[in-house]
Amino acid sequence: MKRISAFQVMGPVMIGPSSSHTAGALRIAQIAAHILKEPADEVIFYLYGSFAETYQGHGTDRALLAGMMGYPTDHPDIRNAYDIAREQQLKYQFIPATLKEGMHPNTVSIEVVGSSGKKLSLTGASIGGGEVIVNVINGIDVAFTGEYPTLIVQQQDRPGVAAHITSILASAGVNIGTIRMYRESRSNRAFTILETDEKLSSDLVDRILENKNIYDVFMIN
């Protein structure tokens, strides 16, 4: 049994009003911002289930914007996210949508365009207590929480790619907790997602990118 600490009972310190509607939402947007790796210019949030019904009353909209702009979950300026987004000339839109079958009732799909024109779409769910799970990136079904240091590798589905990644991590002394590959069904594109015990340094990204079958690498620490 997982033992509960005093600070899980008397905590966390958080921004109200509800950890699943604020902290969780913010974290999903934060993951999208990490993967985008550049400032967002334009973003559309599609809100599902309870997110669609209560997003203004719970401040989910502000939390999502704040996450997109890189704010941490306990920052007092989250409530001013609209003003800050306007200052940063971030264009945003919130679209309540109908929950699809099998979707968690607190789900958001994010479509974002970065300052260089790079596009990303990501779907995630807030599963309670501020914890999240990312379900889809750029149309490919995935599953990770962002709770551990995570490496997301966008690649061609060719032999040798996984070996390339793991050997680089091993030489850097990084212990791999989990490794999973997600394939897009019709093309030969795929994601390899690794969760590690140690924090990841950015020079690893460049070394992993040396393989010609790898398009891009994202890191969440």
Partner 1 sequence: MFGNGQELLAFCQKENISISDAMIRRECDLFETTADEVQQCMLRQWQVMESSVEDALSKNLTSMGGLIGGEAKKLMKRQKEGTSVCGDITAKAVAYSMGVLEVNASMGVIVAAPTAGSSGILPGTLKALQEKYHWNDSQMTDALFCASAIGLIISEKATVAGAEGGCQAETGSAAAMTAAAICELMGATPEISLHAAAICLKNVMGQVCDPIAGLVEAPCQKRNGIGAANALISAEMALAGIPSLIPFDEVVEAMGHVGRSLPESLRETALGGVAATPTGCAYKDKLRQKI
Contact set with partner 1 (CB under 8 A): 3-7, 9-19, 22, 50, 53-59, 62, 74, 76, 78-79, 96, 128
Least Å distance, CB 61 to partner 1, is 9
Nearer to partner 1, 18 or 126 (CB): 18
Kindly state the smallest distance separating residue 21's Cβ from partner 1, in Å.
9
- Quick one: tokens of 185? 């069904």
Q: Is 99 in a helix, a strand, or coil?
A: coil
109 Cβ contact list (under 8 Å, min separation 6): 45, 46, 48, 97, 121, 122, 123, 136
93 or 115: whose CB is closer to partner 1? 93
Q: Which of 29, 10, 100, 41 is nearest to 67 (CA)?
A: 29
**Strand-strand pairing, 189-196 and 150-156:** antiparallel
How long, in residues, is the chain?
Answer: 221
Dihedral sign (CA 173, 134, 30, 9) = negative
Which DSSP category does 174 fall into? P
Q: Which is nearer to partner 1, 68 or 165 (CB)?
A: 68
State the minimum distance, in angstroms, from the CB of residue 66 to partner 1.
10
**Three-class secondary structure of residue 178 per DSSP:** strand
- Closer residue to partner 1, CB minimum distance, 8 or 188: 8
- Smallest distance from partner 1 to CB 19, Å: 6
- Report in angstroms how near the CB of residue 109 gets to partner 1 at its nearest: 17
Measured from the CB atom, the residue of 6 and 159 that comes closer to partner 1 is 6
Q: Which helix (H) or strand (E) holds 19?
A: none
Give dist(CA 208, CA 185) in Å, integer. Answer: 24
Shortest Cβ distance from residue 180 to partner 1 (Å)?
30
Rounded Cα–Cα distance for residues 135 and 15 (Å): 25
Our CB check for partner 1 shows the closer of 94 and 144 to be: 94
